[in-house]
Structure 1
């Protein structure tokens, strides 16, 4: 059944790319819980993120503002799929999100995964060319 609702939540894998010590790139999936928002709210989120990059007074201020923006769609993650440098599970929090957003390309990876999840065709269907 198709559900028409202002917001609903779902899990979707976010595949971060990480470079190993030997220089090999590996995709590291993190199981994230998203809040699906209306198209108009998503468009505003994208505009707000672009504006943050232009107007933030410092990198710290930009990360703080970006975290608040991403929290509109990112509800949490499975801490079994993401860890700290010492391999301890990283529990979801605003502070943990700020740490993650400070990693290369993390913000765009999250945003792209969300957009992929809500796209008319699923990831597997698009990969098959359907």
Structure 2
């Protein structure tokens, strides 16, 4: 049954790429808890993210504004799939989300995964180039 709801939550994997100490790219997958928001709200989120870089007074202000925007769709994550630099599981918090977004391409990874999750066919359609 298709359920019409303004918002609901679901888990979906987000892939992040980092460069290891040996210079090789390493993929890590974090299980995110997303909020599925209405299409109009997602379009506004995308517009807001595009505008942040142009209007923020400082890098820190831009980062805080981005965290506010991403918090509209990110409700949490499975802390067994993400850790701090000292290998301690990283509990979800607003500050932890802000810190994550300060890592290059992390925000893009979150948006790509969210888009895959809500698209018909999800990740399989993306793999086929659709």
TM-score, structure 1 normalization: 0.95
Q: Distance in 2 between matches of 1:76 and 1:98?
A: 12
Q: Does structure 1 retain, via aligned residues, the 8 Å contact 2:35–2:74?
A: yes
Count of equivalent residues: 130
RMSD of aligned residue pairs (Cα, Å): 1.3
Asked if 1:111 is matched to 2:111, the reply is: yes
4+ residue runs of structure 1 moved beyond 2 angstroms? 124-130
Matching residue of 1:35: 35
Q: Write the deviation string for residues 108-128 of structure 1: whole angstroms up to 9, x where unpaired.
A: 110111011101112135435
TM-score, structure 2 normalization: 0.95
- Counterparts of 1:33-112 in structure 2, within 5 Å, are 33-112=33-112
Q: CA deviation at 1:85?
A: 0.6
Q: CA deviation at 1:129?
A: 6.6
Q: Secondary structure at the match of 1:117?
A: helix
Q: Distance in 2 between matches of 1:126 and 1:103?
A: 24
Q: Distance in 1 between matches of 2:23 and 2:123?
A: 27
Residue 46 to residue 104, structure 1, CA distance change in 2 (3 Å): same
Query: Gaps (5+ residues) in structure 2?
Result: none
Q: Secondary structure at the match of 1:11?
A: strand
Q: Distance in 2 between matches of 1:48 and 1:41?
A: 10
Q: Distance in 2 between matches of 1:129 and 1:65?
A: 32
Q: Distance in 2 between matches of 1:3 and 1:34?
A: 17
